[in-house]
Structure 1
């Protein structure tokens, strides 16, 4: 489950941008940073974006030990998720150690570069991800400088309900809200993350994309989920929720040395070329949780 969360959220003309001098709080988090000039607060995730260049900076906080999680960032592990590790540096950061990774990834037919700052302690790991197209490589230094300006503020207000642009109803489902993470709401049955118990994640696309074949996109998006590359689909159904058209996919998958699990995915396509996504995962009582995932999905509403 730890890897499922980690790689789920890793898995989305030249212009010069100088650094601004204003520190800005990151919505949905207790962190702030100094974004590059021209970057604006995102309405889709915790961070900043520059629409013209297709660049973004986002923050994720995972409830997992930094020392344990950073070990997952190996060349082999990243390559298995479609990413290539170019460089890794250990730095002094805010009184402790942190890792900075430089990564490449192909998405939507374009090559992207990532400057990824990873730090934390025994209870949490923070990922600050600066993403920019390869053709905008000149942004590298300003983005890296920005992610390194990240600081924590315990007094900063965090209210996930005021950040996301959607809602779902989990009443009587047994699921408990755990965490807001970069545009997504995380729920689990036992109130813990990571966990081996059933989980459900509700979120939206980070950027606007043009989708011509909804079914193919939904199937490809499903196969990008951890452990789902070779999944055999049990159901692929057209679905309409909140006047949005999309596809529901259900599959049972089995990873080496792990028990089988069911993965449920619903993608709803928005009018502005974005999409909303709901992903449920369980290793137990497949029929029960399939029904619960479907019930929760049907309560989805845009704000």
Structure 2
């Protein structure tokens, strides 16, 4: 299930690094905190708190700063991110610098990426400790050098409160009702993650996992039924068979749900998969449930959880 973390993180690059730079960031009155999150930041001038994701944005310049905190060791996650992963996301590496942020190891990646017919420059700051990793992903049009300088200065004010525990229920902008026996795992990229024992991956024989997540804003999705089918194929499972998508409407949002059978990274073991997507204008909510036991009842629990969905 480390692949689950790799899907929501971006990459760690195996390229020559310059000398490590030490950064000391102290918590100030200018730092802005987010409910339930243990990371705070001083935003660049002219940026406001984003509505559709955790972070800041400046709409007139099409620039954004997305903040994530993941319950996984920085060093362990670093081993899973390769230069090939960057190329696979159509990004070109410009620079990589090793950092020490408040005595925590980190790396600052600089890259470019084409999107919506425009070249964007990206700064990705990744740092952490044994029990958690912070990823701050900033993007701005390449020609806006002054904006980029302000964003970079902002990223280096990042303050990680080691004594504060993330609270996923406070961070997400939605709520769902799940069975009492499901236990909430730690935050994974602004997702609610439930398992039988609260661990990811589950340490019990029952590997049931349910993830509820909101996508980042993007272009308006055309062909939503096919998008749902393609989204299922992009999960970390090899799909063996699937049922046709069924149209649903929940909390005023239309979407699709799909049931399938697939295999995971556990050799020879099949899992029953349930996925539902609810579409907004330029983003969507996605729910992914998987189980290797009592499929009929568990799929019913997945479906009930999705139908309890409400936006805050």
So what's the TM-score if we normalise by structure 1?
0.80
Structure-2 separation of matches of 1:224 and 1:144: 32
Offset at residue 274 of structure 1 (A): 3.2
Identify the residue that residue 66 of structure 1 maps to in structure 2. 74
Classify 1:40/1:161 alpha carbon distance in 2 versus 1 (closer, same or farther; 3 Å).
same
Identify the residue that residue 206 of structure 1 maps to in structure 2. 216
Identify the residue that residue 6 of structure 1 maps to in structure 2. 6
Structure-2 separation of matches of 1:245 and 1:204: 15
Classify 1:64/1:162 alpha carbon distance in 2 versus 1 (closer, same or farther; 3 Å).
closer
Structure-1 separation of matches of 2:231 and 2:308: 22
Structure-2 separation of matches of 1:141 and 1:216: 40
Identify the residue that residue 124 of structure 1 maps to in structure 2. 132
Number of aligned residue pairs: give it. Answer: 291
Structure-2 separation of matches of 1:99 and 1:190: 33
Runs (5+) with no aligned partner, structure 2: 12-28
Asked whether the equivalents of residues 44 and 183 of structure 1 are also in contact (C-alpha less than 8 Å), the reply is: no
Structure-2 separation of matches of 1:167 and 1:231: 31
Q: How is 1:233-244 mapped onto 2 (pairs within 5 angstroms)? A: 233-244=242-253
The higher radius of gyration belongs to: 2
1:290 aligns with 2:299: yes
Runs (5+) with no aligned partner, structure 1: 12-20
Classify 1:73/1:214 alpha carbon distance in 2 versus 1 (closer, same or farther; 3 Å).
same
1:42 aligns with 2:50: yes
Offset at residue 234 of structure 1 (A): 3.2
Classify 1:203/1:166 alpha carbon distance in 2 versus 1 (closer, same or farther; 3 Å).
same
Classify 1:102/1:72 alpha carbon distance in 2 versus 1 (closer, same or farther; 3 Å).
farther
Asked whether the equivalents of residues 54 and 132 of structure 1 are also in contact (C-alpha less than 8 Å), the reply is: yes
Identify the residue that residue 185 of structure 1 maps to in structure 2. 192
CA-atom RMSD, angstroms?
3.2
**1:55 aligns with one of 63, 81, 86:** 63
Q: How is 1:186-265 mapped onto 2 (pairs within 5 angstroms)? A: 186-195=193-202, 197-207=207-217, 209-227=219-237, 233-254=242-263, 258=267, 259-265=269-275
